[in-house]
Chains A and B, each alone.
Chain A
Amino acid sequence: MNSLTPTQRDRGLERLRRLTFGATAGALVAVVGVGYVAAASYAGKSSTNASATAANTTTSTTTDSSSNSSSSSSSSSLQAAPQAPTTGSSGSGTVTSGGS
């Protein structure tokens, strides 16, 4: 078996370092690339909601309620009440709905 000269050994080690560095950098690029593609492909919107939630928690009571209302009243159709009205009788606590 031929032994390597010190110069040959140094060149081999240098080549090995380059290969190791290249492989590591390639792996990092692949991980970032695949992650980016996955994130872009998935139709989530957690970051937007998180921002909205964070904004809501730092605003006033009225702002909170208006924000909640805007989400519940943004439906694309008029929404029926969960239960239909029933016939009642007047008594304590009756209020009037009429024009004003």
Chain B
Amino acid sequence: MIAALRSWKALGTSVHVLATEADALAPASTAVREVLEDVDRAYSRFREDSELSRLNATPGRTVRVSPLLATAIGAAQRAARLTDGAVDPTIGHAIRVAGYDEDFSLVAAKGPQQEVKLRAWRVPGWQAIRFDPQSRTVLLPAGVELDLGSTGKALAADLAARTALAAAGVGGVLVSLGGDIAMAGTPPSDGWRIRIAEDSRVSPDADGEVICLPAGGVATSSTTIRRWMRGAAVLHHIIDPQTSLPATGPFRTVTVAAATCLDANIASTAAIVRGEAAIDWLLSCHLPARLVENDGTIHYIGRWPDPSGLAA
């Protein structure tokens, strides 16, 4: 049984913390707040004083970074390696050129009257980052800008859930950052209940599919959210590193369950970018997934529960 829930806004999205023990909610929530504040200071792209902004502003120089930023860069490089570059942190320049260069509420508000000049070119690639995890030093060559938004939020959910559990001391904790969900500790008897939707703002009480999981992470990537217009072009935030443009594959929304929220997010984002090849790739990764085509057709992959009983 879920004993308590607390919600607020952070990192430009919604935060939900659930605890199985009522007394654990306050210390767990405090711990999550502290982690998210650290994350914001370390790798927000929209704060000029964040470590990441300073790193992006000093190309060609070796910079020693904090353990948290080093962890985030290491996670982003691993994501790129495991997806053959489909999820690549060097999209920073591309997403900025596309118009996503400040908090999203301001990006959307500018509207179609603001033009952008888009051209297809391959991003520099994660191999361009000279990162030594032992010394925590990073050198970005000129022209390389990092965006840790995708893996960074999922990593933050994992870190927040673990830290919240340590602060709670007992029971189980679930942390949701804008629909990227991480679980830690002892789950409720029937598992954590998670509604699957294309928009994380959908009410948990709305109609739709609900899954139960005792542990791990769940992440959803969607091209239907964080969309904006520049001129006649409708843009979104999932950039294809091969073209530096918003991904244009057949799937608009992908949800994946994995051992961690980070791995779930890597897979869901990569599936959007990979397009048709995503189904075979997800099967080879043995990750249960739910994919929604642009026309609304839903595919259930691996051990994802299919309401009709027909899994791929």
Instruction: Point out residues on A near B: beta carbons under 8 Å.
Output: 59, 61-63, 65-70, 72-74, 76-100
Q: Assuming A62-B163, A96-B202, is B263 touching A73 (CB within 8 A)?
A: yes
Name the one of B163, B199, B307 contacting A61, with C-beta atoms under 8 angstroms: B163
Chain B residues near A96 (CB, 8 Å)? 176, 179, 194-197, 200-204
Contact A63 B68 (CB under 8 A): yes
* 0/1 interface trace, chain B 5-20, chain A, CB 8 Å (1 if under): 1000000011010100
Name the one of A68, A79, A94, A99 contacting B221, with C-beta atoms under 8 angstroms: A99
Chain A residues near B307 (CB, 8 Å)? 87
Q: Which of B89-97, B111-119, B222-230, B242-250 contacts A (4 or more CB under 8 A)?
A: B222-230
In the assembled complex, how far is the CB of residue B64 from the closest CB belonging to chain A, in whole angstroms?
14
Chain B residues near A92 (CB, 8 Å)? 1-2
Name the one of A76, A79, A98 contacting B200, with C-beta atoms under 8 angstroms: A98
Interface of A is mostly: loop
User: What are some 12 contacts across the A-B interface (CB < 8 A)?
Assistant: A61-B34, A67-B71, A78-B285, A79-B258, A85-B194, A85-B288, A87-B210, A87-B211, A88-B193, A96-B176, A97-B218, A99-B221
Contact A88 B191 (CB under 8 A): yes
Contact A97 B196 (CB under 8 A): yes
Contact B259 A82 (CB under 8 A): yes
Query: How many angstroms from the CA of A67 to the CA of B158 in the assembled complex?
Result: 12
Chain A residues near B16 (CB, 8 Å)? 95
Residue ID in chain A nearest B12 by CB atoms: A100
Contact A98 B196 (CB under 8 A): yes
Task: Give the most central of A66, A74, A83: most B CB within 10 Å.
Answer: A66
Chain B residues near A66 (CB, 8 Å)? 67-68, 70-71, 159
Contact A74 B78 (CB under 8 A): yes
In the assembled complex, how far is the CB of residue B82 from the closest CB belonging to chain A, in whole angstroms?
6
Contact B216 A82 (CB under 8 A): yes
Q: Assuming A72-B260, A79-B258, A85-B213, is B155 touching A93 (CB within 8 A)?
A: no
In the assembled complex, how far is the CB of residue A46 from the closest CB belonging to chain B, in whole angstroms?
17
Contact B155 A69 (CB under 8 A): yes
Chain B residues near A87 (CB, 8 Å)? 209-212, 305, 307
Name the one of A77, A90, A97 contacting B205, with C-beta atoms under 8 angstroms: A90
Residue ID in chain B nearest A76 by CB atoms: B82
Query: How many angstroms from the CA of A65 to the CA of B164 in the assembled complex?
Result: 10
Contact A94 B303 (CB under 8 A): no
Contact B193 A81 (CB under 8 A): no
Query: How many angstroms from the CA of A87 to the CA of B166 in the assembled complex?
Result: 29
Residue ID in chain B nearest A71 by CB atoms: B71
Name the one of B155, B198, B213 contacting A81, with C-beta atoms under 8 angstroms: B213
Query: How many angstroms from the CA of A66 to the CA of B136 in the assembled complex?
Result: 13
Query: How many angstroms from the CA of A85 to the CA of B196 in the assembled complex?
Result: 12
Chain A residues near B178 (CB, 8 Å)? 100
Residue ID in chain A nearest B187 by CB atoms: A83
Chain A residues near B200 (CB, 8 Å)? 96-100
> Is residue B192 contacting chain A, with contact meaning CB distance below 8 A?
yes
Query: How many angstroms from the CA of A59 to the CA of B71 in the assembled complex?
Result: 14
> Is residue B123 contacting chain A, with contact meaning CB distance below 8 A?
no
Chain B residues near A80 (CB, 8 Å)? 257-259, 285-288
Chain A residues near B304 (CB, 8 Å)? 84-85
> Is residue B181 contacting chain A, with contact meaning CB distance below 8 A?
yes
> Is residue B214 contacting chain A, with contact meaning CB distance below 8 A?
yes
Task: Give the most central of B82, B212, B266: most A CB within 10 Å.
Answer: B212
